[in-house]
Amino acid sequence: MIVTPTRGDAIALTRNLIAIDSRNPSLVSDGPGESACARSLALTLEHWGFRVEIQETVANRPNVVARIGRAGGRTVLFNGHLDTVGVEGMAHAPWDAEVRSGRLYGRGSSDMKAGVAAMCVAALHMVDANLDGEVIVAAVADEEYESIGTRALVDSGIRADAAIVTEPTRLAICPAHRGFAWLELIVHGRAAHGSRYDLGVDAITLAALALAELDEYQRTVLAKISHPLLGRPSLHASIVSGGLGLSTYPDRCRVQLERRTLPGETAADFAREVEQACARVQGRVPEFSADLVPGFAQAPNDVAATHRVVRTLAASLERAGEHASIEGLPCWTDAALLTAAGIPAICFGPGDIGLAHSAEEYVNVNEIERATGVLAGFLGEWFGGAR
């Protein structure tokens, strides 16, 4: 039975959130979505004194938007997602929220219900410390797929001076992360009996030539590009499919590609890279023919390490006796959407992204408490200090 956590108990709130199955239905056929988790959180925050709105996105996939403090002055947005990935193959019960040896286990513990709990409890500091300003807490849907939650939040016209997305960073400050772009390369051949080399055109072999060109490009060009926090960009072939039978020349080969992009790079850049690789193959092999189908893409995030939100969070970490490490985050997050909307957003939270989506997912209990304290300290400085 799930009960309302005591006011300010970040561990109890994390356990409550983990105990509610919120698997993303766009990723898992029987995933129930975020509704039950969102409504439980909304009730808790109302009980704690937040002004709470349930913001519908698509059917049964709501956001929770909760406000605390005084509107009309400085504003900070805390953002985190409630959806999780699937649980197949997990080494422990996904929703028991069991604590063992200082670790809290469960699907979503690290990614990122601990972060959601920490940001909610930290926001209470606005009232407890009588700070002048407003914190908006947004617990959103669908970050694991197409980010319909944060997109709806942005489309609603939400504004803030800065944002912290409490993704798992091991308490490092992450002002930058990579983006990604997906693309399908469909290579055409000509079907024929396996004995008729004079008639058949092998689409799979032609696709391999294009992949070899892209590999060469990655080793000679992309390997020389670097971002100070993120390292180099990358690309890889994710899925290759084609062929009709062992004794038949394949008439088609479909290659699904992913490019991880750095700040300043776009999905259109990736499409041009693939087009140019194909052109180089065609220059050597005239029968090469292919179509490119651009897919889903998300832009990178990049907030200057000198930005006030970074400096203020670093100062809070240091006051708490923590090391203020500034790092790049390898994965994509909703921070990019917020920054693009004019709300400079960085990532900081408890947990380890290396445990996200894994067979064993946990978060260290003391890390939740430490993150909560650092975020509360951040608010004290943000709303109490000079601009």
**Catalytic-residue membership of 155:** no
Q: Is 132 a catalytic residue?
A: no
The residue behind tokens 């072999």 is 205
Dihedrals φ, ψ of 259, to 5°?
-120, 125
List 34, 111, 134, 143, catalytic entry: 143
**179-188 β-sheet, strand order:** 234-242, 252-261, 179-188, 290-298
What does residue 59 show for φ and ψ, rounded to 5 degrees? -50, 120
Catalytic residue among 34, 83, 202, 273: 83
> Is cis: bond before 112, omega within 30 of 0?
yes
Q: Are 308 and 346 in contact (CB under 8 A)?
A: no
Q: In what order do the strands lie in the sheet with 362-364?
A: 99-100, 103-105, 362-364
Nearest-angstrom CA–CA distance, 237 and 215: 10
Catalytic residues: 83, 143
